[in-house]
Structure 1
Amino acid sequence: MKLKRRAFIRLLAAGASLLAATLSMPMQVWAAWSERAFRAKTTNDAMNELLAGTETIESERITFKAPEIAENGAVVPVTIKTDLPSVESISIFSEKNLYPLLASFIIPAGTIAFVSTRIKLAESTPVIIVVKSEGKLYSTRKDIKVTVGGCDG
């Protein structure tokens, strides 16, 4: 089947439109990104930028699973779950990384507050989980020993 010139031009225009829409998507996705929080050099500065505060309440209602010893700091699996009400966000901090804020997840209303991801750790460090619930900050922490650092460069 041969494409006629008009059909080819229509397909080309449709493809260009799709490409333009796809390329503009990241701008919308990154719009809510807090660059200052992710570039902060201390945990307190990152928490202030991201969560507008550093005072947290230790909570046993946050379940934080991570290995006590991570053989490779480049890929440390972590799982966080909480039954706190009206969770707005779950954030992960590492005190000894160059940039302490590792990740922050917005939790949509009415969904289960659960995150499973992999983080990168430069060295053995306390990892702090901060959950924002009903305008308050709750936290838990775990010391993770890293045998091979994952932030070389």
Structure 2
Amino acid sequence: MQDLTRRKSLTFAAALGAAALAPRVVFAAAKAEVDDVIQKFTGGRQPGQGAVTLDLPEIAENGNSVPLTVKVASPMTDQSYVSQIIIVAEANPTPTAATFTLTPMSGKAEVSARIRLAQTQTVTAIAKMNDGSIQMDKKTIKVTAGGCGG
């Protein structure tokens, strides 16, 4: 059996302290990454509310396949249309869950997909209009079994 020295005790205590702080550091890094994704997509513009409707279940029993639909109130004409929609899942290892590019030929500003969610979190849908304006909607979803591995 090895002797427990003062130096080994201090090293062990420091390692425990670092391990206790690790989740906070990871969360702060993840929050910064989400903010960076949104900042890059919006170009710093303040998003409006009301034109985007994000539809997803309140509870997902399986995070491997969560259905969602995003609808944007837009005439989808050459003069006024949705050019892009991005889905951001803030607690996923990679926050950008999906990106869609639309044109007036899309007919309507509506997309549907199934995404993976790691855990209970807020999902954000952001739409960029052809004139550069931004619209957004957010929903919180409870995930009972995560779908991003780990």
Change (3 A) 1:125 1:61: same
User: Shift in Å at residue 53 of structure 1?
Assistant: 2.1
User: Shift in Å at residue 45 of structure 1?
Assistant: 1.5
Please tell me whether the aligned partners of residues 42 and 134 of structure 2 are also in contact (alpha carbons under 8 angstroms). Answer: no
**Which shifted more, 56-65 or 87-96?**
56-65
**Which shifted more, 85-94 or 143-152?**
85-94
Confirm whether residue 149 of structure 1 aligns to residue 139 of structure 2.
Answer: no
Change (3 A) 1:56 1:110: farther
Rounded Cα–Cα distance in structure 2 between residues aligned with 1:58 and 1:136: 8
Task: Give the alignment's Cα RMSD to 1 decimal.
Answer: 1.8
1:106 aligned residue: 101
Confirm whether residue 43 of structure 1 aligns to residue 34 of structure 2.
Answer: yes
In percent, how many aligned pairs have the same letter?
37
Greater relative CO, 1 or 2 (CA 8 Å, sep 6+): 2
Confirm whether residue 123 of structure 1 aligns to residue 119 of structure 2.
Answer: yes
1:65 aligned residue: 55
2:72 aligned residue: 82
Q: Once superposed, which parts of structure 1, at least 4 consecutive aligned residues long, lie more than 4 Å away?
A: none
> How many residue pairs align between the two structures?
113
> Which segments of 5 or more consecutive residues in structure 2 lack a partner in the other structure?
1-31, 75-79
Rounded Cα–Cα distance in structure 2 between residues aligned with 1:56 and 1:145: 27
> Which segments of 5 or more consecutive residues in structure 1 lack a partner in the other structure?
1-40
Give TM-score, length-normalised by structure 2.
0.69
2:88 aligned residue: 93
